[in-house]
Amino acid sequence: MAEMINSRLTLEFNAGMDESGETVFKQKNFNNVNLEAADPSLLTVATALGQLQELPVTAVTRTNEYDITE
């Protein structure tokens, strides 16, 4: 059975355009998220953190790592 060993919350921001007109994205990672935190709670936190940033948030993701060894 897989056991979750780590969780990370990532906020992606629109940082404008580069010289060729392509959108530039920046990310901020928040490591060591409580493994039992519910996704809706993390979205609430991400929304609050996003409001404190200078750049607009374009995406919020959660990445979980699992130990799948026996």
Band (69; pLDDT cuts 50, 70, 90): confident
16: left (phi over 0), alpha (psi -120 to 50) or beta: left
Sign of CA dihedral 36, 38, 4, 7: negative
Residue 16 to residues 1, 10, 13, 27, 54: CA-CA distances in angstroms? Answer: 43, 19, 9, 13, 12
> pTM surpassing 0.75?
yes
Secondary structure element (H or E) that encloses residue 48, with its range: helix 39-51
| 2 pLDDT tier (thresholds 50, 70, 90) | confident
